[in-house]
Amino acid sequence: MSKLKNRVALVTGGSRGIGKAVALALAESGAAVAVNYRERGGEAGAVAEAIVKSGGHAAAFGADVSLRSAVQSMVRDVEERLGPIDILVNNAGMAAARGLDDITEEDFDRAIAVNLKSAFLCTQAVLPGMRARQWGRIINVSSVGARAGAGSVSVAYGAAKAGLEGLARGYALRLAPEGVTVNTVAPGLVDTEMGKPLIEAGVTARIPVGRAGTGDEIAQAVILLVSNSYITGQTIAVNGGALFSGGRLYGVFHQAPMDRHETQCRCRLPESIGRGSASQWRAVPPPDVTPPASLVFPRRLSSPPSRY
């Protein structure tokens, strides 16, 4: 396909997982792709090389997108090598697992900087060209955790991802008359390195479609938003039905020690309309799919990998 021929796309956190799938899909649609990375230069280079070998145009660009100077330098480099940026996919992210008792101000600031501030910085950097050309597509990659609660990681992660959705709506309202659309894709559990701990814990049994998503399926949603000029200010949920199943996938399991070897789980369960408060809490037995020790609070946890 060549519907994006002569367009240039920048994908942050494009070295693996969802970012890699999005970069490959954009290239397949004809766009030249800038693959951003922070530390995984070899993997980002391999993505760019795969695109070039298939007849496309791509290059890898290293930058910490939570820093304004690094973003500005990266955008200049991309435009010098590939051309003006028409499509921006804000995919870079990280998820540090922290409980309520051990999350620090530094943890919170870092989560906001990488997951949310980076999208603001990149958007601001590419907007002048998009507005001048009266054409642009900006897609933020959020998470089902923005609405259901990010139970397996820190509260900062959920806050940042929800912020991405609000950021997109704010930009969309202002940019719609100028030919620039801004939307969000909110993936559920996806079979990537970040999602493997949950998959291994059996969480897919709680997803109505019975499986985790793939990076390609998230990329398809991105291509839809890039191709459609009438969709703006929207969040496209790609989660296998996880939200309408009552939020069970990402329900927060609060752990209250009973003794050194037992725990009591308290879960917020949805109530039917007219049958009580939706925020009612009650004690329940441990769920049939128990999160592994590395995903249970309030102990300090090992952090899932970042998305770039």
Task: In whole angstroms, give the CA distance from residue 298 to residue 286.
Answer: 16
Task: In whole angstroms, give the CA distance from residue 16 to residue 21.
Answer: 7
- Given 37, 157, 171, 250, the catalytic residue: 157
Could you give the dihedral angle defined by the CA atoms of residues 119, 85, 27 and 89, in that order, rounded to the nearest 10 degrees?
Answer: 10
The torsion angles phi and psi of 39, rounded to 5 degrees, stand at -120, -25
Confirm if 165 and 186 have CB atoms less than 8 A apart.
yes
> Is residue 171 among the annotated active site residues?
no
Confirm if 131 and 178 have CB atoms less than 8 A apart.
yes
Task: In whole angstroms, give the CA distance from residue 62 to residue 249.
Answer: 34
The DSSP result for 13-34, as a single string, is T-SSHHHHHHHHHHHHTT-EEE
Confirm if 69 and 42 have CB atoms less than 8 A apart.
no
Question: How much of the chain is helix, strand and coil, in % rounded to 5?
Answer: 40, 15, 45
Single-letter amino acid, residue 244:
F
Catalytic residues: 157
